[in-house]
Every structure is written in structure tokens, then in C-alpha cells.
Structure 1
Amino acid sequence: MSKKMNSEQTEVLKKVLRYMRRYWSYLAISILLAAITVASTLYIPLLTGDAVDCIVGKGHVDWAGVFAVLKQMAMVIGVTALAQWGMNICNNKLTYQIVRDIRNEAFAKLEILPLKYIDRKSSGEIVSRIIADVDQFADGLLMGFTQLFTGVITILGTIGFMLSVNVGITFVVLLVTPISWLVASFIAKHTFDMFRKQSETRGEQTALIDEMIGNQKVVQAFGHEQEASARFDEINGRLQKYSLRAIFFSSITNPSTRFVNSLVYTGVGITGALAAVNGRMSVGQLTCFLSYANQYTKPFNEISGVITELQNAIACAGRVFELIEEEPQTPEPEDVKVLTDVEGNVCLQNVRFAYRPDQKLIENLNLTVKPGERVAIVGPTGCGKTTLINLLMRFYDVDDGSIQVEGTDIRMLTRNSLRAVYGMVLQDTWLRSGTVKENLLIGKPDATDEEIVEAAKLSHAHSFIKRLPKGYDTFIGEDGGGLSQGQKQLLCITRLMLCHPTMLILDEATSSIDTRTEMKIQNAFAKLMEGHTSFIVAHRLSTIREADVILVMRDGQIVEQGNHKTLLAQNGFYAKLYNSQFED
């Protein structure tokens, strides 16, 4: 287990170092300033020793020498303060530029991840990786840069200064040092696993909170509050357990190393006192050496704390790197084409697709659609209607067979050019935070105000938009907060009508709209679909009577095909579906 953890940490550290290479100048300056800070800090005890020697003799105080030493100390302290200030600036620049790059790469990866990843992971868990985990990583990295550089250089510098004062006592200090490293290493191994579990559980908790907030109405409508609270308590309990263990192991680091460091100070005090009594060193040198012993042991306490923070930072960074290194959607080939001059020819040949290999969905699906045809897709829940739409838009790639538009396999077309020819309205609406006008312009950013109003009138959304406090400039919250589901769907339909797409996809586009408004919108859709290939998914079969072709799907297969009258006359599966909606 420990070998696996060490290899994980090593790999994550290598990735962090790759980001650091981009800003090596800040790193080099930071190390240089750290060396200056440590050197000037370690020079102070020498000056203190000189000052002590100036006042040791009874009635023989060398005031001139003391004031000269004090001037030197003031200058050295000023240099130390400036160097430390500059080092902190470099460390901040280095840390937050690395964090910026990681966040940018993580968000850019989200844009090219296949939908199956988004379907598999909860949105809250993904948000936790990009926000909370990166913040934790930044805190650990900043502390690491600030204290690790100065700590290591302080240890090395102190050894050098101590050797210049007394070699024998220096070896006493060095003999006790390995004990401190062994203690810190033992604790670090146990800390990483707890911090990793803490980070994972925090992501799980964020996902649950995000889910509950986004679906609060459903939770309350079905009385799910107690179950949600129980689930939260369970996750919170696990988070408490992992956090307490991580904090326990990390908190015993400092007192453990302090105990070892006290042994160092004690050894220096005893051997130094004996040396001073025997005349091998002055009282000022002993004072200087005791100060160095304290300076020498202090970084061990700081570094042990840094190691704990770095364990947490590495655990969080590992989760972010997992997202960044996820397999992106299938890249477009070099000879990919841009779809132009679209008439509306669509052909599906022997299409096979399944979300999971062990659960078959669509098998051997064949379909030919001519320009201008209105194709309705009906069938029971789970038969593959929406999946077919996902395949047409290339949100998923087929497992076998091909889908062709204008005679070209859509895998040989750029995704952007393929999706640009479709206008799409789904049952689930999507609106972002912004004004009504900004939401409508998503499909056609260069549309004029007159075009927006005309589209809104066609979708019968103009009247309710004008009743809003600021009309088209009214600000709406995330996912259309403050609007009814029907109003949100009207805005999505308006967005479609503003685009004038070559082909249409309507997946339960009027499911949340009242019957009277739906009839008017159906008339508008009928005008919009004239001469355009259209795919209509509907559960209310009364809305697709005028379709040129009705595909009846069942278990991923097209079991019946024809227009409304033909399918009713066959008295098959479609007739049963249709009649079931109008039985007394």
C-alpha cells in the first residue's frame, strides 16, 4: 500500500514540476532570495555573540563596539526583510500562475470530454475537483514554497556556520538529526492516504449538495428530506472520520519533531557549557551556538508541517490531474470535411449502439430520410428515441454501422459544422444567467432586435417577455430562475426560430406548454419545417399526425414505419400506443 502511495505521490509531483518549469525564473529568484534571507538571518547570532563578548567583563563594557554591532544588525535585518518580501511575491506569482494553468486546462478538458464522462460523474463532484481541490492544492503549494526553500537552506546554512564556530558540538547536533527525519517520514506515509480519502469524500458531499439544491422542489414534493438528510449525515460522518484521522496524524508531527529538537538543544547546551568552562569557547560563542541550535531545529518543525500540507495538496492535485488526463472525445481525423450545401439527406445504415457493453440498446437500425421530410419517432420509454437524437448530433459515436449526412459519414465531418445545421429544442430547457436577449442570441449572436422580436412573436413568447420588468433586458438567474417551465421552453423555442436551421430536432419541445399555446406553436413549427428535414420525438401522438414518416421504435429497433393513417390501418403496435391515449 505504501509503495503504491509513494508512486502516486511521485507521479503527481512530476506533473507539478512540469508546470513549474514554465515559470522557472520565479523559482530561481525565489531560491536566491531565500538564500539571502537565510544567510542574513544566520549572521545575526554571530553579531549577537560579538555584542555579548563586548559586555561580559565586569565594568569593562565596550559601548563603541556594542553600537557598531547594533548598526550592523539593523542593516542585516533590513536586507532580510526586503529579501523575504521579494521571496513571498515570487512564491505567490509562481503558485497562482500554476493554479491558473491547471484550472484553465481542467476547464478546457471539460469542453472536449465525451458525454459519457459527464453522464458517469455528478456535476458537484466535477465542480469540487476544479474549485475546492485546486484551492487546497494552492494553499499547500504556497506554504511549501515559502517554508520548504527557507527551511532547507536554513538547515544547510546553520551547519556551515556551526562548523565555523565549533566542529565537535556540530557533530553532536548532526547525530540526533536523523531521528527527526524518521519521525516525519513515518507520519507522512500515514497522512497521505487520509487526505486522499478526505478529498474524495468532500467531492461526494459537494455532489450531493449540488444535487439537492438543484432538485429541491422534487425533494420536497416527494417528502425525500429525511432520506436526503440521512445520506448527507452518512457522507458527513465519513468525512469527519477521514478528516480527524488526517488532522491527528498531521498534528502529532510538530510535537514529535519538537521533542527530538529539544534533545538537540539539550545536547548543545551541555557540551557547550563544558567547553566554555574548560576555556575552549567564549560565552559569546556559546550564546551564538545555542541560537544556531535553535535556528537549526526550527526548520524541522516547519518542514514537518509543510510535509503535512503537501500531502493534502498532492492528494487534491492527483484528483485534478485525473480529470485533465481523462480520455477526450474521439479526435477529428486530418482529412475531416466541413459540412456545406446541406439539403437534408440523412441515412442510417446498420447502426448499433449501447451506453454499456453489457446492455444492448440499438441493434441493426436502418433509416433513409429525404430532404424536407418530417420524421416522427415514437415508442415506449427507454426504446432509444432520445439516443437516436444523440447519435444524429454526434454526442455519441455509433459502435457499428454509420450515419451519413449528404452521403458523408458524420465521423468524417467536423462536429461544429454538423451541429450547426441542426436546430434543437429538448424537453429539458437550458438557460444561463443573463438577460432574456442574451439567452436568445446564443444561437445567432449577430441577430438584430427586429429579428429577435419576430422570432418571439412566432413562438408566442413576445407577450410574456413584454410583461417582464425590463422586457428583453430582464435579467434571469441560472436555468431561468423566476420563470415557469412553460416560459423557459418558449424561450428555447424562440432561440430555435431565430436560427432558421437547415434541419430540426424537436424532442418533446412543447411538453410544458398549455394546449392552446401548443396549437399555435405547432402551426409556427409547421411553417418553419416547410422544406426542412425534421426529427420529432413525441409522447403525445396527437402532435405528430401530420408527419410524413412515423418511426415506431421498440427495444432499439424500428418495428413499424409509415404515416399516421397507414399505421392505424395496420392495427399494430402504433395503433395500440395511439388508442391507449384516447381510451375512456
Structure 2
Amino acid sequence: MLKTLLSHLREFKRVSILTPIFVVLEVVMEVLIPLMMAAIIDNGVEKGNMDYVYRTGLLMVLMAMLSLFFGACAGRLAAKASSGFARNLRRGMFANIQRFAFSNLDKYSTAGLVTRMTTDVTNVQNAFQMILRMCTRAPTMLLCALIMAFSINARLSLIFVAAIIFLGFCLVLITKNSHPVFLRVFRKYDALNASVQENVGAIRVVKSYVREDHEISKFEKACQNVYRLFVRAERVLVLNAPVMQLTVYGCILLLCWLGAKMIVVGDLTTGQLMSLFSYVMNILISLMMISMVFVMITMARASADRIAQVLTEEPDLENPENPVTTVKDGSIQFSHVTLRYSAGGKPVLRDVDLTVEPGETLGIIGGTGSSKSSLVQLIPRLYDVSEGSVAVGGVDVRRYDLQTLRNEVAMVLQKNVLFSGTIRENLQWGKKDATQEELEHACRLAQAHDFVTALPQGYDTYIEQGGTNVSGGQKQRLCLARAILKNPKIMILDDSTSAVDTRTDKLIRDAMAQELPGTTKIIIAQRISSVQDCDHILLLDAGSVCAYGTHEQLLNTSPIYKEIYLSQQKGGDEE
């Protein structure tokens, strides 16, 4: 885990190395000041040598100025290193998420990924900055102060050694008991973010059903879970403060008692005792810093584990060696295809055999849960088959370069997605350099041009996040126009005209048939009227092929298809 995270330091390695160097220099200056102070008392004040006091005093001022300079440099470099490290971690996670297959994404919730890229990275950033400064400063100060203390009086310095051993033992126990709780805390953070995300995304539904009280109750429950676990973790961490205080005051009392006795018998001077008091404070402050770092690292360790999990997640789908980089045509062959979403799981597709010729239009219908979407997601290799094979252009999709294959397959998904930006920017996802004429032509085919031009700013109208300022039918038509701009060899429409009326649906199908004759088109629909003019129709039931043929053939050979057709015809007549 540590190796994975540190590999993302990259261009910030130099400042990460320089920071501890400046911290060490700052500490050295600070440690020398009490020594100079002891010399002033013993050799200057007690002997009445004011010349020595002035010279040594100026030296102490110089050391203080250098300490300030080194500390400022260390702070600036630590901030730069930790912020850059956090930036690289976010970049690394986001880049790796873009490589994930659908099966990888199924392992994480959206809210969980957001938490990892925000809260978890911030925790690691803060801990890293503390490590660069405090984890260098505290041990260095501790070591230097101990050396100086032992050089003054070894017997009294053993008090500090005992304090370090006692405090270290207590910190290990505290960390060991609090780390598992923090792991659970961040999992509850995921649930909390999921609750917020779901509520905000579906706020119109919440308000229309007057379910605000239910959502507030659900959110409060998620908050309570986070609160309860944090309190549990803090009950352990809170022991850090009293243990620290006990160690500090114990050392001071012992030093006063034993130091006074040694001054009386002449084994210690007043200046040396004053220096020891300065060093004891340096040592104890260092121990307090270490305890604070332990608390921060305990929290950050749980976050670091979660970040490393995303960074090291290997995509389930990768390019093969020597991939095929050209798709010959839009022909599709399913050969005894079985699909399971997890090893040993229940098959969602069973022994599917199917051939679609280039330029042909295939209609797919079936009940909810019949795996229509799962079938077409195998074509651009969003999932890999568990058994059998899927070929496009006569080549197994597993042999293609993924980018090449997906560039030749346009999907208008069941859940239409528009991104925040102008209509023009959304359409240009299909073709980056599309001209105004190409945009208008694609929108005319998708029956979207008229409503776009009716908007005050036309193609430069801003689309809110999720397309909330356009209707469901308008959103579907814009997504369809975006897919048409790709000019793909295969076009997949996954129930993508369900929100438009039957007349507009027919106009779209007729336009595509005339303008894209060489493109293989797959239309998934609930209405038989949307697929009855297709070259062939596939009827799926529970992941298996139930019937296949033309509209007329299925009316004569498939009782299920005929029943659906008659029920829809009857409903249309009544309407």
C-alpha cells in the first residue's frame, strides 16, 4: 500500500526530500539555543562578564533567525509537496477509474469513489504534511535534546528514556485499537454520501411524493452511524491526552526533585538545570507531536488503504497482444453465448446463437429482466462473455483494440446522460470537430433540430448537470443525435425512444433507415410498433432466445409475440 501511494509523488520527490532537511536544520538551531543560554548563566551572569553575555546573546539571536528561516522554508515546501501528492493521487484514481470495465465499477458505489477522491485524499494529504514536518522534527528534536541532556547529566537524562518507553507503549496500544474503527467509519461515510447523492439526484421525485420526512430520517440514520463510530474511536484516542500529561508532569517533578538535590551536593550547576528544563520541554513537546502524528496516521491509514484499493484495481478488460485495429463491417455473430456477472453466479444469458448481417436492422423485445441490455453490452465489449464468443466484422471482440471497437459502436443507453455544458458540446462527444452543418443534420435525423432552434440560444443553450432543464424526450433525441454523429458501423438503441411519441419514433426510424443504410442497427423496445419494420426481431425470455424471425413470421410461430402484439394493438385501439 505504501509503495503504491509513494509512487504518485513523482515531480514532488525533490521538495519532499528537501522539507525534512530544512526541518533538521531548524531543530539543530533550536537545540543549540538552550546550550548558549546555560553558557550565559554560568560564564556570563554568575561571573559578571557582560562582554560574554552580549557576544553569546547575539549568537543566540542569529540562531533564532536561522531557525525561523529554515522553519518557513520547511513549511512552504511541505505544503507544496502534500498538495501536489494529493493532486497526483486524485489524478491517478480518476485515470484508473476511466480504465475500469463495468464489472470493476460494479464493485464500488459512486458515493464510495467520491469519498475516496475527496475525504480520504484530504486525510492522507494532511497526514503526509505532518509526516514531512512533525515526523522529522519530533524524532530529530528528541534525539538532539537527549544527546544534549546526556552530555549535561546522564543520570537525570534516564528520566527521559523511561518516559519515551512508557509513552511509546501506550501509543501502540491506542493505535492498535482505534484503526479498525476508523475503517468502519469511512465505510459509513460512503453510505452517508450515497444518501445525499440519491436524495439530490431524485429531489423532484421526493417532493412529488412528499417524502422529505422519510429522506431526512434516512439521512439522520446515516449521520448517526458515522457519529457513533467516531465517538467509539475517539474514546480510545482521548486516552492520548491524559497519558501525555502524566508523562510531562512526571518528568518535570522528577527533574525538579532530583536536580535540586544534585545542585546542593555540587553535581549540577544552576545553568545546567535550566538547560535540562529547556531540553525536557523539547523532549516532551516532541513526544506530544509524535502522539498527534500517531492519531493522524491512524485515521489516514484507513483512508490510504481505500485509496490504494482503487489505484491497484486492475481492469477486468484489457487489450490483447497485437490487437486488431480495423473493424471491417457491422456484422455481428453470437456463438453459444453465456454470460455471468460473477464467477459461479447465475447466468443472465444462456446459449445465445445469433447472426446479424451488415446494414441489417434487428429489433429486440422481451419482458423486464430478460437481459436485453446485457446482450447488446457484449458487442462493444463492456462485459466479456463467460462462455462462447461474440464477433464483430468476423473477428472476436476480444481480439480488437478496445478503443477501435468502441469507436465503431454507438450506444444510446436506456438511461440517457447529458453532461453539464452547451448542447453543442454535448453533441460533439460524437465527433469532436463536427461542423454546424453536421450538428444540424444529425439533429434533424433525431428529430431534435426544431426544438433546439426554438431555444433562446439554440445550439449554445446550456444544459444543466444531468440534463434537468430539458424534457425526457428531448434528452433522448439529443443523445440519439450524438450517436449519429459518430457515423458508426453499429448503432444500438436501448429503449432510447421510449419518451417520445409514436409519430416521432417512426420519423426517427425512417430517417435512420434512409440516411444510414450501411450501419447495422439494433433497436431494443417495449413497443412492437418500434421494431415491426426491422429485418428480423429477436424475442428474449429470461436470458434465452424465445423466438427469432420477421414480424409476420413471429405472428404465425410465436404465441408469446402474438399475445404481446394483440395486447398492444388492443390498447392502441382503445386509446
TM category (shorter chain) comes to over 0.9
Residue 201 of structure 1 corresponds to 188
Equivalent residues of 1:425, 1:509 under 8 A apart:
yes
Equivalent residues of 2:262, 2:268 under 8 A apart:
yes
Q: Could you say what the CA RMSD is over the residues aligned between the two structures, in angstroms?
A: 2.0
Letter paired with 1:242: L
Residue 121 of structure 2 corresponds to 134
What is the alpha-carbon distance in structure 2 between the residues aligned to residue 377 and residue 571 of structure 1? Answer: 14
Residue 318 of structure 2 corresponds to 331
Match of 2:33 among 32, 44, 65: 44
- Please show how residues 74-223 of structure 1 align to structure 2 within 5 Å: 74-223=61-210
SS class of match (1:429): coil
Quote the offset at 1:99 in angstroms.
Answer: 2.2
Mark the CA change 1:117 to 1:228 in structure 2 (over 3 Å): closer, same or farther.
farther
Match of 1:256 among 243, 250, 255: 243
Are 2:14 and 1:28 aligned?
Answer: no
Are 2:411 and 1:454 aligned?
Answer: no
Residue 424 of structure 2 corresponds to 437
Greater displacement, 432-441 / 89-98: 89-98
Letter paired with 2:254: G
Residue 352 of structure 2 corresponds to 365
Residue 507 of structure 1 corresponds to 494
Residue 6 of structure 1 corresponds to none
What is the alpha-carbon distance in structure 2 between the residues aligned to residue 510 and residue 16 of structure 1? Answer: 46
Letter paired with 1:353: L
Match of 1:354 among 340, 344, 361: 340
Residue 3 of structure 1 corresponds to none
Mark the CA change 1:262 to 1:18 in structure 2 (over 3 Å): closer, same or farther.
farther
SS class of match (2:377): helix
Greater displacement, 514-523 / 493-502: 514-523
Residue 566 of structure 1 corresponds to 553
Letter paired with 1:92: A
Letter paired with 2:115: S
CA deviations 1:76-126 (Å, max 9, x no partner) are 011101111122233223323332232222111111112023234321111
- Please show how residues 170-569 of structure 1 align to structure 2 within 5 Å: 170-342=157-329, 344-356=330-342, 357-569=344-556
Quote the offset at 1:456 in angstroms.
Answer: 1.9
Quote the offset at 1:19 in angstroms.
Answer: 4.7
What is the alpha-carbon distance in structure 2 between the residues aligned to residue 497 and residue 176 of structure 1? Answer: 74
TM-score by length of 2: 0.94
Letter paired with 2:32: Y
Residue correspondences, number: 570
What is the alpha-carbon distance in structure 1 between the residues aligned to residue 400 and residue 279 of structure 2? Answer: 70
Equivalent residues of 1:173, 1:267 under 8 A apart:
no
CA deviations 1:265-301 (Å, max 9, x no partner) are 2211122111222222221121111111111111111
Equivalent residues of 2:448, 2:478 under 8 A apart:
yes
What is the alpha-carbon distance in structure 1 between the residues aligned to residue 415 and residue 105 of structure 2? Answer: 16
SS class of match (1:582): helix
SS class of match (2:411): strand
Quote the offset at 1:65 in angstroms.
Answer: 2.7
Mark the CA change 1:571 to 1:370 in structure 2 (over 3 Å): closer, same or farther.
closer
What is the alpha-carbon distance in structure 1 between the residues aligned to residue 425 and residue 539 of structure 2? Answer: 38
CA deviations 1:328-383 (Å, max 9, x no partner) are 122222122112332x2211111111224332221111011112211101111111
CA deviations 1:166-205 (Å, max 9, x no partner) are 2221123323331111122221111212222111111221
Equivalent residues of 1:191, 1:249 under 8 A apart:
yes
Mark the CA change 1:436 to 1:331 in structure 2 (over 3 Å): closer, same or farther.
same
Show structure 2 runs of 5+ residues with no match.
none
Quote the offset at 1:408 in angstroms.
Answer: 1.1
CA deviations 1:531-565 (Å, max 9, x no partner) are 32211101011111211101111121212111112
Greater displacement, 221-230 / 390-399: 221-230
CA deviations 1:241-263 (Å, max 9, x no partner) are 11112223223213311211211
What is the alpha-carbon distance in structure 2 between the residues aligned to residue 175 and residue 417 of structure 1? Answer: 67
